[in-house]
Amino acid sequence: MNSFSLEKLIRQNIQQLIPYSSARSEFSGQATILLDANENSIADIGDSNYNRYPDPLQKEVKKRISELKNIQPNDIFLGNGSDEAIDLLIRMCCTPGKDNIIICPPTYGMYEVAAQINDISVRKVILKENFQLDVPGILEQINAQTKLIFICSPNNPTGNLLNEKDIETLLNSFNGLIVIDEAYIDFGQANSWISRLKEFPNMVILQTFSKAWGLAALRMGAAYASKEVIAVLNKIKAPYNINHSTQQIVSQKLSDTEDLKNSINKITQQREYLTTALCKLDKVVEIVYPSDANFLLVKVKNANDVYNYLLQHKVVVRNRSNQPLCDNCLRITIGSFAENEFLLTVLKEYK
């Protein structure tokens, strides 16, 4: 077992920080007259309460998420997209110009960008040929300045789940935080790591409402971790990071789990259909990698050419061919039935 100490991990200035105390966090009881936050009580905004600051700790949404995910509200952080959580985790643990994080390319681009914005160096340990973690390689790269390891499962852009045993080895051998990004977890068969949160004080799980839940425009993502880690994230976040409409709409949506299941079923059916259909286009397509996400990584004969050809037909896919292990690879999101059909029709005519 490792000797994880959150106190040692968090930057000194963050430990000592006295957070901004907003009017809405100092008073949260039931009052009829709110004259504490310099809002405009007489603004004409219909019957909404857009003139009031939203709940800084999003208690209503968290209560619903806690029921849905079987997790304590205090173990939940909500951010303006999970991208906010990525940035805050880096700022919480990493001293600019000194510390580093480890990432495993090809993977989601924001880990590196968020690190660079904060002047944190990035150590890269490329995935193995089978798109699984190179565990010995990662362990070798860890030094005293390594504060976070970002792992994405199912991984973007490769679409595969990462082996549970490998992640467990890392959780057991690293004294920093292991951040497991589960943005696509709802599209596959695997269980979320949430069920093992209590076992690992150094685990942070990221999920988002932008993908399976279909709420990308609202900007809401979650981090699940020990209440101690969550308390630090809450201390350093912007006071009103999730706006009122987002809190309200997400709260409502969370009760529609049937809707969620239906759209996930449709997308996974379309994923299987699109895989089969793409494999038949052997003039263009070389490999369609198996996917536990809502996209396919597709190796083609000439990615730049196919990419531009699709663009000419007003279809945009993601060209990932400059990523390690992704030579000539395009990442294609599973769209609606009509969108997928259009894509196939266009590709059939590619010469």
Ligand X SMILES: *Cc1c(COP(=O)(O)O)cnc(C)c1O
Q: Between residue 136 and residue 155, which ones bind ligand X under the rule CB under 6 A?
A: 152
Among 75, 83, 87, 292, binds ligand X (CB under 6 A): 83
Report, in Å, the least distance between residue 86 CB and ligand X: 7
Radius of gyration of the chain (CA): 22
Minimum gap (Å) between residue 283 Cβ and ligand X: 30
Residue nearest ligand X (C-beta atom): 81
82 binds ligand X (CB under 6 A): yes
CA-to-CA distance for 217 and 209, rounded, in angstroms? 9
Rounded (10°) angle between helices 110-117 and 82-93: 40
Residue 181 backbone phi and psi in degrees, to 5: -90, 110
- Tell me how far, at minimum, the Cβ of 322 lies from ligand X, in Å: 18
E strands present in the chain = 76-79, 100-103, 121-124, 146-152, 177-181, 203-208, 221-224, 285-288, 295-300, 318-319, 329-333
Closer by beta carbon to ligand X, 82 or else 202: 82
* Contact status, residue 109 vs residue 116, Cβ threshold 8 Å: no
Q: In what order do the strands lie in the sheet with 318-319?
A: 285-288, 295-300, 329-333, 318-319
What's the min distance (Å) between Cβ of 21 and ligand X?
27
Minimum Å distance from CB 163 to ligand X? 18
The reply to whether 156 sits near ligand X by the rule CB under 6 A is yes
Question: Per rule CB under 6 A, is residue 183 in the interface with ligand X?
Answer: yes
DSSP 163: P
Give the shortest CB-293-to-ligand X separation in angstroms.
8
Q: Which position among 87, 99, 181, 292 is part of the footprint of ligand X (CB under 6 A)?
A: 181
**Which residues 6+ apart lie within 8 Å of 264 measured at CB?**
186, 187, 212
Stretch near ligand X under the rule CB under 6 A, chosen from 79-87, 189-197, 302-310, 342-350: 79-87
* 251 and 60 Cβ atoms separated by less than 8 Å: yes
Residue 187 binds ligand X (CB under 6 A): no
Provide CB contacts within 8 A for 118, sequence distance 6+. 87, 90, 91, 94, 96
Among 77, 108, 200, 213, binds ligand X (CB under 6 A): 108
Whether the CB-CB separation of 139 and 160 falls below 8 Å is answered with: no
Decide whether 42 or 217 has the Cβ nearer to ligand X: 217
Task: State in Å, rounded, how far the first CA of the chain is from the last one.
Answer: 57
Give the residue with the Cβ less far from ligand X, 53 or 209: 209
Q: Binding segment for ligand X among 50-58, 131-139, 208-216, 284-292 (CB under 6 A)?
A: 208-216
Q: How many residues line the site for ligand X (CB under 6 A)?
A: 13
Choices 1-9, 76-84, 115-123, 342-350; region in contact with ligand X by CB under 6 A: 76-84
52, 63 Cβ separation under 8 angstroms: no
Is the Cβ–Cβ distance between 170 and 204 less than 8 Å?
no
Bond before 154 cis per omega within 30 degrees: yes
Q: Shortest distance, CB of residue 151 to ligand X, whole angstroms? A: 10
Among 54, 56, 159, 221, which residue interacts with ligand X (rule: CB under 6 A)? 221
The distance of closest approach from Cβ of residue 45 to ligand X in the complex, given in angstroms and rounded to an integer, is 28
Least distance to ligand X, CB of residue 315, Å: 20
**Cα separation of 278 and 275, whole Å?**
5
Cα–Cα distance measured from residue 166 to residue 136, given in angstroms and rounded to the nearest whole number: 10
Query: Which positions touch ligand X (CB under 6 A)?
Result: 81-83, 108, 152, 156, 181, 183, 208, 210-211, 216, 221
